[in-house]
């Protein structure tokens, strides 16, 4: 959650694509204080009961659409225009092979605009699947790691500054305390 909140501080994020719903990710994206610019969140999920759980928690937010797919998440990517999104979160599937397939399928489309965030990035299979991207960064302040991969030219300086904030506050703040993290990023804006 802190990494997602931080990314919204260093880039205007209006359109998010989420592979695999999450209590922390989906609800963080829909949190107007954390993602003030969000206009659209499209979530793709292949677990019916989990989708229902998150749907109930998310309520009736008009910015959110949930697409249920049968089978593998990776198979649903072919028809999506990835360039229409500012941020893509990959936190899907029950096995590492399935999530690696999702990452590989995204990579094969060679998206230039979006940042792709990968949960559990300490998994070698995920890092190998992401190897074709021009830029890669591992946030290691929390376990599990979070990877950020992208193809466009972006100031790595801003990503590293975000990582410093995460490391400086990671031992002081709970990872699921959205309000505290929003305040931490606001307090350090312009000081990093």
For the chain, the structural domain boundaries read 2-188
Check residue 21 and give its pLDDT: 92
Residues whose CB falls within 8 Å of the CB of residue 176, separated by 6 or more in sequence, listed in order? 1, 24
Between CA 188 and CA 93 the distance in angstroms is 35
Q: Residue 28 in contact with residue 1, Cβ under 8 Å?
A: yes
Confidence (pTM):
0.93
Tokens of 31: 């949190």
Question: Phi then psi for 166, rounded to 5 degrees?
Answer: -60, -45
List helix spans (H) across 119-191. 124-129, 156-169, 178-188
> Under CATH, which number does the domain 2-188 receive?
3.40.50.150
Predicted pLDDT at 192: 47
- 40: phi then psi, degrees, rounded to nearest 5: -150, 130
CA 51, CA 45: separation in Å to the nearest integer? 6
Average pLDDT per consecutive 10 residues, the chain (192 residues; last block may be shorter): 92 96 92 95 92 89 93 92 97 92 96 95 95 92 91 84 91 90 81 44
pLDDT of res. 158: 87
**What is the reported pLDDT for 189?**
63
């Amino acid at each position: 959650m802190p990494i997602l909140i931080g990314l919204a501080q260093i880039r205007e994020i209006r359109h998010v694509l989420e592979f695999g719903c999450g209590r922390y990710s989906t609800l963080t994206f829909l949190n107007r204080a954390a993602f003030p610019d969000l206009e659209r969140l499209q979530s793709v999920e292949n677990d019916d009961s989990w989708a229902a759980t998150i749907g109930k928690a998310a309520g009736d937010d008009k910015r959110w659409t949930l697409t249920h797919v049968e089978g593998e998440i990776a198979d649903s990517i072919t028809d999506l225009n990835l360039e229409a999104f500012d941020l893509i979160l990959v936190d899907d599937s029950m096995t590492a092979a399935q999530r690696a397939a999702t990452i590989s399928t995204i990579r094969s489309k060679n998206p230039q605009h979006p940042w792709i965030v990968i949960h559990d990035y300490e998994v070698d299979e995920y890092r190998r699947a992401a190897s074709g991207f021009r830029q890669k960064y591992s946030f290691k302040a929390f376990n599990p790691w979070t990877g950020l991969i992208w193809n466009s030219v972006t100031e790595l300086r801003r990503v590293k500054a975000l990582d410093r904030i995460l490391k400086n506050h990671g031992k002081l703040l709970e990872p699921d305390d959205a309000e505290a993290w929003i305040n931490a990023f606001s307090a350090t804006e312009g000081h990093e």
